Chain A
């Protein structure tokens, strides 16, 4: 069984400040890990993914995440927040080949303070 836990259902940061969204995973097999972003009334857009290559993964819109096996974490960061980053962010885990369905966390709503 696989699961992810997102700590903090709401995070607020000032424009220009560091963004840190936390995700911890549980998996009995080496996982694939993903971050998706969802804007209001829209589907999910892939930000980045970890698939056992480099542990530091760079994504779109200046986001990156680091896979830390010892901490079972895959936190999402961005050095400088922008107003357009305000959205809901979901961490997800899947198994490897043959078990690709995604298991999502409950999401973190990011608010940017002008």
Chain B
């Protein structure tokens, strides 16, 4: 049983560039969450999917951010026109609705640095 995987693990980009991150959840998990963690802080909720449907988006998710889960399996998070304030760890988690009291299992994260 493989856990949640994220790719890439690290990304350095210049301000104004677009970046895309991928998350592969635990097989058959129907919920997928994205969180952002800045230095010295706890993770903050960004958005989540149940299967293909994006059910909630945080106000933190500006228009420059978009997330998809086209086939209800992997998900992508794209940031357009990156800003230095986007530098953070982006965490993905998955869970299975209806079992295990909705425990979320986290991936290793993608660390983004915007220069």
Q: Does residue A77 face the partner (Cβ distance < 8 Å to B)?
A: no
**Chain A interface bracket (under 10, 10 to 19, 20 to 34, 35 or more):** 20 to 34
Contacts of A102 in B (CB 8 A): 33, 35, 43, 45, 104
Q: Does the CB pair A44–B106 fall under 8 Å?
A: yes
**Chain B interface bracket (under 10, 10 to 19, 20 to 34, 35 or more):** 20 to 34
Contacts of B84 in A (CB 8 A): none
Contacts of A107 in B (CB 8 A): 40-42
Q: Does the CB pair B101–A51 fall under 8 Å?
A: yes
Q: Does residue B95 face the partner (Cβ distance < 8 Å to A)?
A: yes
Spell out A's residues near B (CB within 8 Å).
Answer: 32, 36, 41-46, 49, 51, 90, 92, 94, 97, 100-107
Contacts of A49 in B (CB 8 A): 101, 103
Contact with A along B29-69 (1 / 0, CB 8 A): 00101010000111111001000000010000000000000
Q: Does residue B25 face the partner (Cβ distance < 8 Å to A)?
A: no
Q: Does the CB pair A105–B108 fall under 8 Å?
A: no
In the assembled complex, how far is the CB of residue A100 from the closest CB belonging to chain B, in whole angstroms?
5
Contacts of A51 in B (CB 8 A): 101
- CA of A32 to CA of B31, assembled, Å: 17
Contacts of A46 in B (CB 8 A): 103-105
Contacts of B102 in A (CB 8 A): 32, 94, 97, 100
- Among A43, A45, A104, the residue within 8 A (CB) of B42 is A104
